């Protein structure tokens, strides 16, 4: 059986944050890190800071100074005058403002794509645009777009697919702009952009879907086309869901697994190839370990 593995591993924003923490921790005995955590329990378990807390041996081998990093669970634990390093996910604006009023020294390693998405929301709404936020309704980036629009007295409509645009009540008096969730489904995003470009009312479209999403989903889609079945190593985050959706659009047999124990031996019966892909919180070594496990499981048939 041929096993085709994705090579994306951690996304660029996560690698950048780990590199930054590793650099900072090289010259300090203790570094406090913190960032916004997901509302999904599964994504929290896969979170990059949780991985530091668990003292992941492969992670520490790649970023040895992370042994000096201490994870803070709650911003209320950060005291006046403390230093804090923010992980790839950053923090909500009010939390950051509160830390700054406490004179906390913040080193911000938030992913630049997330920073750009957030600043784009502020710029557009402050310039008077209503928003079309592409992404899943429960995606926190779309929820952020709703909050920012509300704060500026603008309308924000979330669209998950091109057909949703038909239900928007565009009126010529308002300016409209569209942003895409950074980890959104890139196939649907392109379809939404295409449909918006046909609209009679001019809509400003800002490309905010991140570079990693395009690359990761393109790779996953290609591997899924070439394989009999697909395993998506699911970290519970929005990027994993987008990968799953893209794979499912080109392959009828796609399974979401979060550990080796989830893989069923009967899935491997009568197949000649399998693709293994993952979300942004799934390191390359986990994909490779899954491939090795699947290979062993297949040999028992």
**Binding site residues, ligand SF4, CB under 6 A:** 11-14, 88, 111, 113-114, 182-183, 210, 212-213, 239, 280
Q: Which is nearer to ligand SF4, 75 or 135 (CB)?
A: 135
Q: Which is nearer to ligand SF4, 113 or 244 (CB)?
A: 113
Least separation in angstroms between CB 111 and ligand SF4:
3
The Cβ of residue 211 has, within 10 Å, a number of other Cβ atoms equal to: 13
Q: Which is nearer to ligand SF4, 162 or 237 (CB)?
A: 237
Residue nearest to ligand SF4 (CB): 13
Q: Which is nearer to ligand SF4, 69 or 114 (CB)?
A: 114
For 257-289, give one letter per residue: b (16+ CB within 10 A) or e: bbeeeebeeebbeeeeebbbbbbbbbbbebbee
Dig out the tokens for 7 from the structure. 């090579």
Q: Which is nearer to ligand SF4, 13 or 75 (CB)?
A: 13
Least separation in angstroms between CB 277 and ligand SF4:
14
Round to whole Å and give the CA distance between 23 and 75.
23
Q: Where are the alpha helices (DSSP H) in the chain?
A: 12-26, 41-46, 48-53, 57-62, 93-101, 112-126, 140-151, 186-197, 211-226, 238-248, 284-299
Round to whole Å and give the CA distance between 267 and 231.
10
List all residues 6 or more positions away from 59 whose beta carbon is below 8 Å from its beta carbon: 18, 51, 52, 66, 283
Comparing CA positions, the residue from 82, 81, 83, 141 lying closest to residue 108 is: 83
List all residues 6 or more positions away from 129 whose beta carbon is below 8 Å from its beta carbon: 154, 175, 176, 177, 204
Least separation in angstroms between CB 252 and ligand SF4:
27
With contact defined as beta carbons under 8 Å apart, do 81 and 104 qualify?
A: yes
Q: Which is nearer to ligand SF4, 183 or 224 (CB)?
A: 183
Q: Which is nearer to ligand SF4, 177 or 280 (CB)?
A: 280
Least separation in angstroms between CB 134 and ligand SF4:
14
Least separation in angstroms between CB 145 and ligand SF4:
15
Round to whole Å and give the CA distance between 238 and 131.
21
Q: Which is nearer to ligand SF4, 111 or 165 (CB)?
A: 111
Least separation in angstroms between CB 118 and ligand SF4:
11
The Cβ of residue 254 has, within 10 Å, a number of other Cβ atoms equal to: 22
Least separation in angstroms between CB 209 and ligand SF4:
8
Q: What are phi and psi of 170, to 5 degrees?
A: -75, 135
């Amino acid at each position: 059986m041929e096993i085709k593995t994705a090579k994306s591993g951690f996304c660029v924003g996560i690698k950048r944050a780990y590199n930054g923490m590793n650099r900072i921790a090289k010259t300090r005995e203790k570094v406090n890190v913190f960032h916004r955590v997901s509302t999904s329990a599964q994504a929290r378990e896969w979170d990059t800071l949780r991985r530091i807390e668990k003292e992941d041996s492969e992670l520490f081998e790649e970023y040895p100074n992370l042994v000096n990093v201490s994870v803070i669970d709650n911003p209320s634990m950060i005291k006046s005058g403390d230093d804090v390093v923010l992980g790839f996910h950053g923090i909500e604006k009010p939390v950051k403002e509160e830390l700054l009023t406490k004179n906390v020294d913040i080193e911000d390693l938030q992913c630049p794509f997330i920073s750009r998405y957030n600043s784009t929301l502020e710029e557009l709404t402050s310039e008077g645009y209503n928003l079309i936020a592409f992404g899943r309704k429960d995606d926190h980036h779309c929820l952020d777009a709703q909050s920012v629009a509300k704060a500026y007295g603008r309308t924000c409509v979330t669209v998950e697919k091109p057909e949703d645009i038909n239900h928007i009540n565009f009126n010529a008096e308002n300016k409209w702009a569209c942003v895409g969730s950074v980890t959104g489904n890139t196939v649907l995003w392109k379809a939404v952009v295409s449909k918006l470009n046909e609209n009679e009312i001019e809509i400003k479209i800002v490309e905010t879907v991140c570079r990693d999403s395009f690359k990761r989903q393109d790779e996953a889609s290609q591997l899924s086309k070439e394989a009999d079945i697909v395993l998506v190593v699911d970290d519970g985050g929005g990027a994993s869901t987008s990968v799953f959706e893209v794979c499912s659009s080109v392959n009828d047999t796609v399974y979401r697994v979060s550990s080796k124990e989830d893989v069923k031996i009967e899935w491997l019966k009568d197949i000649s190839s399998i693709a293994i892909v993952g979300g942004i919180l799934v390191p390359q070594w986990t994909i490779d370990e899954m491939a090795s496990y699947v290979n062993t499981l297949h040999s028992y048939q």
